[in-house]
Chains A and B, each alone.
Chain A
Amino acid sequence: MTRRFVVSAIMLLLMGLLMAPDRLTAAPYDTIQVSNPFLNKTPIALPAFKALTGSPAESQIGAEALETLENGLAFTGFLKQVNPAAFLADPSNTGIQMSQINFSDWTGIGAELLITGGVEEKDGRVKLALRLFDTFNHQLLKGKVYTGPPDQVRRMIHLFCAEVSHALTGKWGVFASKLTFVSTVDGNKEIFVSDFDGHNPTRFTRHKSISLSPAWSSDGQWLAYVSYAGGKPDIYIRHLEQKRGSVIKRDGMNITPAWMPGQDTLAAALSFSGNQEIYLLTRQGEMIKKITSSWGINVSPQFSPDGGKLAFVSNRSGTPQIYIKDLSSGEVDRVTFQGRYNTSPAWSPDGKKIAYVGIEKNRIDIYMVQLDKGPGMPVQLTRNQGDNEDPAWSPDGNLIVFTSTRDGRGGAVFVMTAAGTDQRRLMNMPGRQTQPRWSEPMTYKE
């Protein structure tokens, strides 16, 4: 009796120790209440998928699906995969359902989350059963079954990644987004569109010219970009699937288009007046109004997520710096004060931060300023690894995609967390890639 009590007490104590730090359970699951989730990632276990009828085809599909899941979850930015060598259990043998899982097998190795998967393949159709568990609370957080042809397994996994992200943070993540970027093709620059992670790149333009600065409309249906197809930089506005669109080709240059969130309205820098100013335009290219009135350079407008403000670059102070204009009050504030060259503002989806490019001592790097805490010291996100440009946020605000020359190729797309951690190359394409931008998440047609 006494002995049993002691054992129980020790067990409780151990569990308490295991559960106390870094726990998800303290807060409801719609948000992760951690100050810097990227430095304090939640450990997740991703064991092998179960072949539900035991066929080799299922094992093969399951192995590929698991790899897709591992790569996909890296795009949440806040999950850390537990080394499979530490696993004490094998759900692909013992079962993937809640009742078949011994949660202490997982809490014992520090895994706070667990995803199990099962694959069934029949008559050319694949069924994927996926479950996300909270191992400490013995709780099924999300269970989904997807069915489709084998070539849709990647998409099924990404749908589930979005569910995981939503279950843990309340945000769908980057998984239903698309990526656009510029890539060199035969010495020209063309616009491409791919999956969020750079997979399945498809060429969008065939101008055989210089095409630059692709920008998504909020609904992901339109791309505005700059092209020299007409011999000088003009703005092309094109529907992604239909043959619709227009061209803004006023005298001088027409560059740096940006869409107003939720609107068919663009901001862009035009120089027909003899000076480079930022204007609001309709999707058809008709003038709505002039935003800036300052001699010199005014370029790279970026709307705040609520559409009420516009960040842009101006050299009105003598050097290029980032400013914000309140579109209703007309008030202009300077945002960057450190250094003599700060450009390419990118507004975080929560509206509180701006990532940008700064040049310090001939090094081009990505920095970030916090807007809601007054003028503060910028945080440097890239350092000592080539030139780094073109920052753009993931729709959930967890990731920043950017261009880096660090691998010596003169430009490739990289991704990092919004804290600057986990910097890695996104895709492997011939040529040079620049100016990546994620779209808002699009609803999958299942």
Chain B
Amino acid sequence: MNKKLGLHVLMAILVAGLFLTASCAKKTVVSDATAIEDQTQASAEAAAAEAARKAEQERIRQQELQAEADKKAAMEQARAQAAQTRFLHQHIHFEFDSAQLTDTARTLLREKAAWLKANTGHSIVIEGHCDERGTTEYNLALGERRAGAVKQYLQDLGIGSFRMTTVSYGEERPLDPGQNEAAYSKNRRAQFVLK
């Protein structure tokens, strides 16, 4: 009898335990489903973050590429600008009362011709200038011969004459107002202006 009771108690405990276990098991399943949802969301978020990171990376890469390209373009432009500046500011100099091209002048003019060939869109005005020594009227004539000598040489180097016009300013537009040989030699020049 005691044995039977003991069995009953065990059964009861087992059943209760079963119940408990059953309820526990059910609870676990539910909780598992939630975990999966969370996990999906988390992985989606992670994917999104990853995508964003990649996009950001791509954006930065693009930006870097752009910057690189910009830098390149800017450098190119700066180089072109420098070439143009040099073209416009490296003047051709002459001896006193002379319109003859010196060796230095010829070297510089070959460089100018190269620039003109690389920049076919540009037409130019060649200005002839003189120092203040000598007389106003004669210097007008001399300045024109200087500009003319430069134009002729560039033409000989293959630059179309239609791209070049000349004008003489005589002694009217000195670069340096000084009254010494340094200033005079600066002022005896042919210089280029873009049309």
Contacts and interface: CB of A to CB of B under 8 A. Distances in A.
Interface of A: 189, 210, 212-213, 226, 231-233, 252-253, 255-256, 269, 271, 274, 276, 296-300, 313, 319-320, 340-341, 343-344, 357, 359, 362, 364, 387, 389-390, 434-435
A213 B136 contact: yes
Contacts of B133: 359, 362, 364, 387
B138 interface: yes
Given A210-B172, A253-B144, A320 B97 contact: yes
Nearest to B142: A297
Contacts of A269: 141
Nearest to A296: B145
A253 B140 contact: yes
Residue among A319, A340, A341 having the largest count of chain B Cβ atoms under 10 Å: A341
Residue among B132, B135, B148 having the largest count of chain A Cβ atoms under 10 Å: B135
Contacts of A340: 97
Interface string B82-95: 00000000000000
A118 B95 CA distance: 63
Interface string B131-166: 011111110111011001000000000000000001
A319 B95 CA distance: 13
A298 B144 CA distance: 12
B167 A434 contact: no
Interface in B68-113: 97
B187 interface: no
B168 interface: yes
B140 A299 contact: yes
A297 B138 contact: yes
Interface of B: 97, 132-138, 140-142, 144-145, 148, 166-169, 172
A382 to B, nearest CB: 14
Given A233-B168, A341-B97, A276 B144 contact: yes
A252 B144 contact: yes
A194 B134 CA distance: 27
Contacts, number: 76
A319 B136 contact: no
B137 A297 contact: no
B97 A300 contact: no
Contacts of B135: 300, 343-344, 357, 364, 389-390
B137 A300 contact: yes
Contacts of A313: 137-138
A252 B147 CA distance: 11
Contacts of B136: 212-213, 389-390, 434-435
A276 B134 contact: no
B167 A299 contact: no
A274 B140 CA distance: 15
21 contacts: A212-B140, A231-B167, A253-B141, A253-B167, A255-B140, A274-B148, A296-B145, A297-B138, A297-B141, A297-B142, A297-B145, A300-B137, A313-B137, A340-B97, A344-B135, A362-B133, A364-B133, A364-B135, A389-B136, A390-B135, A435-B136
Contacts of B97: 319-320, 340-341
B172 A189 contact: yes
B96 to A, nearest CB: 9
A369 B133 CA distance: 22
Contacts of B172: 189, 210, 212
A266 to B, nearest CB: 15
A343 B137 contact: yes
Contacts of A341: 97, 134
A185 to B, nearest CB: 14
Contacts of B167: 231-233, 253
A147 B64 CA distance: 92
Nearest to B165: A232
A255 B135 CA distance: 13
A18 B97 CA distance: 56
A368 to B, nearest CB: 16
A213 B136 CA distance: 9
Contact of A300 (B132, B138, B144): B138
B134 A299 contact: no
Given A232-B167, A233-B168, A213 B137 contact: yes
Contacts of A271: 144
A320 B138 contact: yes
B168 A299 contact: no
B150 to A, nearest CB: 15
B137 A255 contact: yes
B23 to A, nearest CB: 104
Contacts of B141: 253, 255, 269, 276, 297-299
A274 B145 CA distance: 10
Nearest to A231: B167
The 8 closest A-B pairs by CB, nearest first: A297-B141, A343-B135, A343-B138, A299-B141, A232-B167, A300-B137, A344-B135, A256-B137
B185 to A, nearest CB: 13
A343 B134 contact: yes
Given A341-B97, A389-B136, 10 more contacts: A233-B168, A253-B167, A269-B141, A271-B144, A299-B141, A343-B138, A344-B135, A344-B137, A357-B135, A389-B135
